[in-house]
Structure 1
C-alpha cells in the first residue's frame, strides 16, 4: 500500500497505463473503456484530463509505441498544431506549437516550446532528440506556460514522464531490424532491491545508414551517405521509500552519438551553377528557366559532416507527505551536461569553398544545475501550491570557418559575373579578388586589373583556418511561483497562477579572424575610389554602387577586419511577472466550459554569432525578452456514457518582441519582430467504440499566425529589413492553416492465448513556408504522412512481433529550406511595389533543403518476463 501511495503522489513516477491519444493512436494491452481513465499532471497534480482548463494532448506508452515514437521529432505525427524540424545538425532541433517557435542552432536563444523530462526542465530542444527510453506518457501543453514548468515558455511545453522503478520484477527486451540497414536492441529490468528500494535499468543502441546519397567529388569526404544513426544510451533509476510518508526517486542517464549529419539537397539551382561547373565542381543540375528541380535525395558535399554528441545528467526528486497539513513537500534537483560538435560543408557542393571541421572548433556545450521546491496541498475548497525554482546555466559556443582552395576563384568569378551583367560595357576580370588585395597596387593598377587589362598579382583570400570565435554565457535565474484553484461552488472553479522570474545573464566572447582574410576586405575598402572610378568609366559616382557590391562581398562576416580580435563583455538582468487566471464551469458531469488568460515570457539573451550588417566595435549582442498575452475559451465534452471525448478551444495569442532567428545566406540574424499573432481553434476527439479493443481518435488545429506590420525603423538593426521585408503582415513560417491528425487502433484477444492488433496514424498539414524570410521557393505544399503497425503476440504480453512502417506512402517533403551560401542572391537593393525588396525576376539564389525522412519499415520483436 505504501508503494502505491507514493507513486500516486509523485508526479514524475505516475504509472498511467491507459492506451489513449488525443489526436493519436490508441489501444494497447490495458486499453481504457472510459474517458475518465485519462489522467494528466499539467497542473503538477493528478487530474482527469476533462477537468483541466488547458489544451493538453496526452500520449500513453502504448500510443507512443504504436506510432513508433522514439524522440520528439517522431512525436509530431500524434499532435495537431505541432511541428518539429532539424537542420544542419540534429542539435538544431526546433519544436513549434500553433506556428510559434524559435529556429536555428544559436544557443543564445531559449526554446519557445520547453522540454521537461521527469520534472527537470531542459533548456534546449536538442536534448529531446534521441531515444527517450521507457515512457509512461508524454503530455503536450499548448499555449504559454508561465507558472509551473521550470523556466517560462511562450508557446508550450512537452512534458515527458518515463517509467518509474517497480517493486514487481519485470524484464523487457526489444530487437528491431529495418531498411536502410537499421537495427536496434534495447533491454530493461526492474524490481525490488530491498523492501524499501526498487531499481530500473534501461540500455539501448540503434544504428542505421543515411537517408541521402552523397556525391563527394574530390573529397576528402569518404562517406557516401548522410544522416545516419549510431548511438547508445543508458538510464538507471532508484525508487527509495524510507517511510510511509516519503519517497525519493534518483535518475542517472548517459547518451553518446557518433554520426554524420546533415547535408542539404538542392531544390532550386540558380545561375551560379555555371561558376561551380567551370571550377570543376558539382551541384544538382538546374531546370530550364532556373525553376524548381525534381525532388532528390542525392546531395553534393566534398567535406565531412561528422557529429558527436554527449548528454548526461543526474536528478533527484523527493516527496514528503505532511498529513497534518494534507500537503506534500517536493524537491527536484538536477545536474545536466550536454555537448555537440559538428563538421559541415558550408557550400553544399563538391567545390572546396567553405567548411567546418569536426575537430572541436564548431559546436556548443551546456552545463546546467536546477533546484525546485514545491509545497502543495488541498482543503475542501482550495487546491494550493507554492514554490521556488533556481537554475545556473553555462553555455559555451565555438564557431570556426575554413576557406577551401576554391574560395578565391569562386568569389572572383561570382563578382565578375554579377558586375558584367550589370555593366556589360566594362569587362570585369575573373581574378577580381586578387586585384583588390595586390600588395602595393596603385590606383591605375587597380583599374587595369579590374577591367582585365593586367593580371592579378595579389593573394586574394588564403586557404585554411579563417575564423575562430568563442562565446561563454552564464545564466542565473530564480523564480517564485504559486498556482491555486478555488472551488467557488460544486460547479464553478477559479484558478490563479503567478510567477515572478529574475534572470541575470553574462556574455564573454572573442571573435577573431585567422590568416590573411581580413586583409582582402581592408584592401577593398582602401581601393574604393579607384574601384568606383574604374567601374564608372571615369565617373566615381556612377561606379559607386558596383564598388559597394564588391566591398560587401569581400567583407562578408568571416572576412571583415572589424572582427579581428573583437572582445565581448556584456551583462544584463531583468525581472518579469507572468501567470494565468482561469475560470471553469461544469454544466453537469459531462460538459465543462472554461476561459483563461495567460501571460508568457521567454527570456532575453545574446546573439552568439557574427552579424551580417551593422558591425560596430562596441555594438551590443543583446536581444530583448519575448512576451505573449494569450486568451482561450474552451468546451470539454464527455459524451455517450463517457465513451466519447470531444474538446474544442478557441485561442488568441499576441507575441511582442518575437525572437526571430533567420539565416540570410551568409549569417544568422536575430531580430525582435514587434508583433506576432496566433489565433485559431484546437479540436480533439476520441471514441472508445462498442467494438472490443477498437478506438478511434483525431484532432485538428486551425491557425492564423501572422506578423504585424512593421518597418525598418521598428527593428534593432534596420539594415536587416530588406531580407525580412516579406514578413510584415504575412503568415509566419511553419504555420499551416490546417493541421489534422487521425488514428484507428485495434487490439484484442483472438483465442488460444494470442492477441492481434494494428495501429494506423496519419497527419496532414496544408501548405506553409519553411523559411523564416518567407522566400517563395521555400514553400512546402500541403502533405500527409502515414505510419502503421501490425502486432501479433501472446495475450499475456510475454512476446509480440510487430511489422511497422513510417511514412508508408513515401511522401516527399521539405523540413527546412535555406539560401545556399554564396550561391546567388534573392533580395535586391530596390524596393518593389509591395514594399519588399524581393523581385522574382532577379532571384538568382540557389536553394537547398533539409528533407523529411523517407519511407522506413521493419520488424520488431518484444519480449517481457
Structure 2
C-alpha cells in the first residue's frame, strides 16, 4: 500500500468521524417557507433506485439538479452539466458525436464506436448506446441525476462508472405556454416554445420545439482550398419533442413520447499546441501557411483546406406504462419501450493543416448509424418491511459504421518533403500515382448487438433504523460483426515500398546517411508510406467476428439511521461493461515486411477486447443540520477495475488495449445550504479521487506507453474537482423579482491523452457561469443577462498526436466566453 493511499484512508475516515458528508442536490426551488422567516430543505425526490425516494434515504452518491438550477446555469446538454456536478467531466473531440463523460476519472474515449460508454446516459428511462448519441438539446427538464459509481443492477448497460439519468417534463392537465428567446455573441440566436395542457380529464399533451444557431469560434486559414468556409465550430440545431399522457384510471397511466433533432455544423478542428520536425514540410507544402509556427492555440485559428460538414439526425419514440395491480397487493407493473435511430455523417480535414494530405468527404461514406429497440419490464411492490422489485430488459442494437480516409493531392509529396535531402532516393521507390487523390480507405462495419437481462432489487427494513438492500442482475450480451475492408486503390505506393524495402536501405546507406537519418526515414516510409490506409493487404478483405458473454452484477448495501437527520451506509457494487471490437484496421507484424515473410505484416482478424469489470466499495453519511437548512453528505469510495478498456489515437489509427487493473479511491463531499439570509442559497461539492493504473504488466504495448506507467494517474482523472453555485433571489415590491446565479467549477491538472504523453497535460482550471434576471414575481416574464465561461478561461478539452505528424500535437479547445440576453414568457 502506498504512503499516499494510507494518508488518504486516514483522512477520509477522519472526515467521516466528524460527520462530514456526500451527495449534492438541488436549488432553492425545492425549498418552502416554514415558520416565521425560516426556510427548510424539503424532500428532494430522486429515482436512483427506479422508484421515487427522498435523496437522503438513498444509499448511493447522487447529484440531483433541479430544472430551475439547470436553467440558471445554462445547461442545455450533458457537456454543460459539468458546471454543477463535481467529479463529472465531459469532453468532445473530432466531432460532437465523439463526446465522452467521465465520473471520478473513469470513462471511455468516444472516438471509436466499437467501445460502449462507461458512464451510461438514460433519458426518460431509455438508455443511449454511446455518450455522443445523447449529446443534443435536452429540452424541458424536470431534473438530472448524476449517479456516481457502478450502477450495474437497475440501469445495467454501460454503467460501470455511473449514470446520468435525465428526466424531462411530462405533460400536465394545467394549460400553459412557455416561450424563450435568446441572442448572444458569435451570432447566437435561439428560440424555443412549448405548449402544455389537457384535452379532457384523461388525456394531456406537451409539445416543445426549439431552434438554435451560432457562428463558429475558430477562424480558419483555408490555404489553397477547396474549402471556402472561414469559421469552424458553428452550430445549427432544430429540436421537437411531443408527448401524450393518458390517465385511463387512477391505476393506469400511459405516456407516449416522440422526438426529433437535426444538427448541422462545421466541426471540430484541432489547433496546434506543439510543433515537431514535420512543421517545415507542412508549411512548405501550403506555401508557408500550412500550420501555425510557433503555435498559439488560443488565438483560435485553425488550418483546414478541406470541409468539415457534419450532420446528425436523432429520432425516437417511446412508451411508458405504469399499472397499479390491486390483485397483487398494490404492486406496480412498469413497461418502458423505446425505439431510436441516430445517424451521423462526417466530413473532415484529417491532418488539421492547410496542406492537402488526407481528408474525409461528407458524402456519406464516413458515417455511423445506431438503430436501437429496447424493452424493460419492472414489477415492484412494498409492505411495511419489504420494498421489492423484479425486472427484465432486452435491447437490440444495429450499428453501421463506415470508415473513409482519402488521399489529398499532396500525400506523396508530403512523404518526399519529410525525406529532405534524401527525397530523390525516396522518389525512386514511390510510384507517381501510388497514392491517387480522392481514393483511399473505405471500410464497412456492420454490428448486431443483442442484450438481455433479469434483475431484482430489494430493500428490507429489519427495524425502523436498519435497512438492507440486495440487488442482482444477470446479463447476456452477444455481438456479431461483419467487416469489409476495402481500398479504392491498388495499394501500389505501399506495395512498392515494401517490396523494395531492402533496396531502399542499401541505397540510403550508400548515400552516406547516418544511422539516425536512416531510422527517421524508415519511420516515414513505414508509418506514412505504408500506413494502414495505404496497405494492399486490405484490398477487399472480408471478416466476421462474434462474442457471446454472460456476467453477474449486483449490489449489497446496509444503512443505519441514527436520527431523522443522520443516516450512514456501507455498500458493495459489482459493475460490468461488455467487451467488443475495435472498428479500425489492426495489423500484426512489421509493416515493412511482406505478408508471409517471418515477422511480416498481417491483417488482424481478431480485433476483440475483453469485458470490463469493477468492484466498488463505499462508506457514507447523509446528514441534515441547522433546522433542516443544511444538507452535508460525505462518501469514501474505492473502485477496482479489471480489464479497463483504453482507446488511444496514435496519430494514424485507434489502438484498443485492456489495462489489467485501474483503481479509483477517494472522497465525495457535497452540500446544500439555505443561509440565514433568506434570499441566498448555496450548493456545491468536492471530489477527491486517486484514479491510477496499478498493474505494470498491462503496459507492455510500446506503441501505447513509452515507459512503465504503474501508479500513474489515468487520463482525464484530476485529483480534485469542486463546484459551487450561489443563488440570490430578491423580491422587489409585491410584483417583481430579481434572481442571480453564479456557478463555478474547479478542476486540478490532468493529462488529456490515453498514452499520458507529457505534452498532453492540462493545467488546473476554473470556469465560471453567471446569470442575472429581472421579471414578474409570477414568472409571466423575465429578462436575463448571462455569460458562460465568464472569466475567459483558456483550456484544452483533448490534446492528441497530430495526424501523420510525429512529434507534433494538436488540441480541441474548450469554448471561449459566450454571453447574451434571454427573454422568457409564460402564459397561464
Fold shared per TM-score above 0.5: yes
- Match for residue 341 of structure 2? 337
Aligned residues: 786
- State how 1:79-94 maps to structure 2 within 5 Å: 79-94=85-100
Could you say if the C-alpha distance between residues 335 and 431 of structure 1 is closer, same or farther in structure 2, counting changes exceeding 3 Å?
farther
Provide the rounded CA distance (Å) in 1 between the counterparts of 2:32 and 2:728: 10
The answer on 1:226 being equivalent to 2:232 is yes
Which stretch has the larger CA shift, 86-95 or 687-696? 687-696
Determine which of 814, 820, 823 is the counterpart of 1:858: 820
Name the SS of the counterpart of 2:602 in structure 1.
coil
- Match for residue 466 of structure 2? 492
8 Å contact from structure 2 (residues 737, 775) kept in 1: yes
- Match for residue 572 of structure 2? 597
- Match for residue 358 of structure 1? 362
8 Å contact from structure 1 (residues 612, 669) kept in 2: no
Task: Provide Cα deviations, 1:220-246, integer angstroms capped at 9, x if missing partner.
Answer: 111111111101000000000112210
What TM-score comes out, normalization by structure 2 length? Answer: 0.92
- Match for residue 429 of structure 1? 423
Deviation at 1:678, TM superposition (A): 0.5
Provide the rounded CA distance (Å) in 2 between the counterparts of 1:859 and 1:113: 33
Could you say if the C-alpha distance between residues 587 and 98 of structure 1 is closer, same or farther in structure 2, counting changes exceeding 3 Å?
same
Task: Provide Cα deviations, 1:486-529, integer angstroms capped at 9, x if missing partner.
Answer: 0011101100000000011000011111124x111111121122
- Match for residue 658 of structure 2? 672
Provide the rounded CA distance (Å) in 2 between the counterparts of 1:200 and 1:385: 30
Provide the rounded CA distance (Å) in 2 between the counterparts of 1:612 and 1:303: 29
Name the SS of the counterpart of 1:771 in structure 2.
coil
- State how 1:338-737 maps to structure 2 within 5 Å: 338-414=342-418, 416-417=419-420, 428-430=422-424, 432=426, 434-438=427-431, 458-516=432-490, 518-537=491-510, 548-549=522-523, 550-611=525-586, 614=589, 616-617=602-603, 619-711=605-697, 714=698, 720-723=702-705, 725=707, 727-737=709-719
Could you say if the C-alpha distance between residues 606 and 637 of structure 1 is closer, same or farther in structure 2, counting changes exceeding 3 Å?
same
Which stretch has the larger CA shift, 789-798 or 31-40? 31-40
- Match for residue 773 of structure 2? 791
- Match for residue 161 of structure 1? 167
Provide the rounded CA distance (Å) in 2 between the counterparts of 1:747 and 1:685: 19
The answer on 1:250 being equivalent to 2:244 is no
Provide the rounded CA distance (Å) in 1 between the counterparts of 2:223 and 2:378: 59
- Match for residue 455 of structure 1? none
Name the SS of the counterpart of 1:275 in structure 2.
helix
Deviation at 1:773, TM superposition (A): 1.1
8 Å contact from structure 1 (residues 413, 430) kept in 2: no
The answer on 1:267 being equivalent to 2:273 is yes
- Match for residue 444 of structure 1? none
Task: Provide Cα deviations, 1:802-835, integer angstroms capped at 9, x if missing partner.
Answer: 11110000100000011111112xxxxxxxxxxx
Task: Provide Cα deviations, 1:756-808, integer angstroms capped at 9, x if missing partner.
Answer: 11000000111111111111111111010000010111111111111111000
Provide the rounded CA distance (Å) in 1 between the counterparts of 2:587 and 2:717: 27
- Match for residue 768 of structure 1? 750
Could you say if the C-alpha distance between residues 476 and 29 of structure 1 is closer, same or farther in structure 2, counting changes exceeding 3 Å?
closer
Deviation at 1:752, TM superposition (A): 3.7
- State how 1:83-232 maps to structure 2 within 5 Å: 83-232=89-238
Provide the rounded CA distance (Å) in 2 between the counterparts of 1:541 and 1:213: 42
8 Å contact from structure 2 (residues 32, 42) kept in 1: no
Provide the rounded CA distance (Å) in 2 between the counterparts of 1:254 and 1:724: 45
Determine which of 299, 303, 309 is the counterpart of 1:296: 299
Name the SS of the counterpart of 2:28 in structure 1.
coil
Name the SS of the counterpart of 1:359 in structure 2.
coil
Provide the rounded CA distance (Å) in 1 between the counterparts of 2:522 and 2:281: 22
Task: Provide Cα deviations, 1:130-151, integer angstroms capped at 9, x if missing partner.
Answer: 2100000000000000011142
Task: Provide Cα deviations, 1:576-619, integer angstroms capped at 9, x if missing partner.
Answer: 00000000011111111100000000001111111365563452
- Match for residue 747 of structure 1? 729
8 Å contact from structure 1 (residues 501, 575) kept in 2: yes
8 Å contact from structure 1 (residues 107, 608) kept in 2: yes
8 Å contact from structure 1 (residues 326, 379) kept in 2: no
Deviation at 1:720, TM superposition (A): 4.9
- Match for residue 595 of structure 2? none
Provide the rounded CA distance (Å) in 1 between the counterparts of 2:276 and 2:44: 53
8 Å contact from structure 2 (residues 110, 131) kept in 1: no
Provide the rounded CA distance (Å) in 2 between the counterparts of 1:366 and 1:403: 28
- Match for residue 289 of structure 2? 282
Deviation at 1:284, TM superposition (A): 4.1
Provide the rounded CA distance (Å) in 2 between the counterparts of 1:402 and 1:809: 41
- Match for residue 17 of structure 1? none
Deviation at 1:725, TM superposition (A): 3.6
Deviation at 1:547, TM superposition (A): 7.4
Deviation at 1:413, TM superposition (A): 1.8
Provide the rounded CA distance (Å) in 2 between the counterparts of 1:349 and 1:705: 35
Provide the rounded CA distance (Å) in 2 between the counterparts of 1:658 and 1:402: 33
8 Å contact from structure 1 (residues 24, 78) kept in 2: no
Could you say if the C-alpha distance between residues 547 and 749 of structure 1 is closer, same or farther in structure 2, counting changes exceeding 3 Å?
closer
8 Å contact from structure 2 (residues 662, 695) kept in 1: no
Structure 2: gaps of 5 or more residues: 1-21, 34-38, 590-600
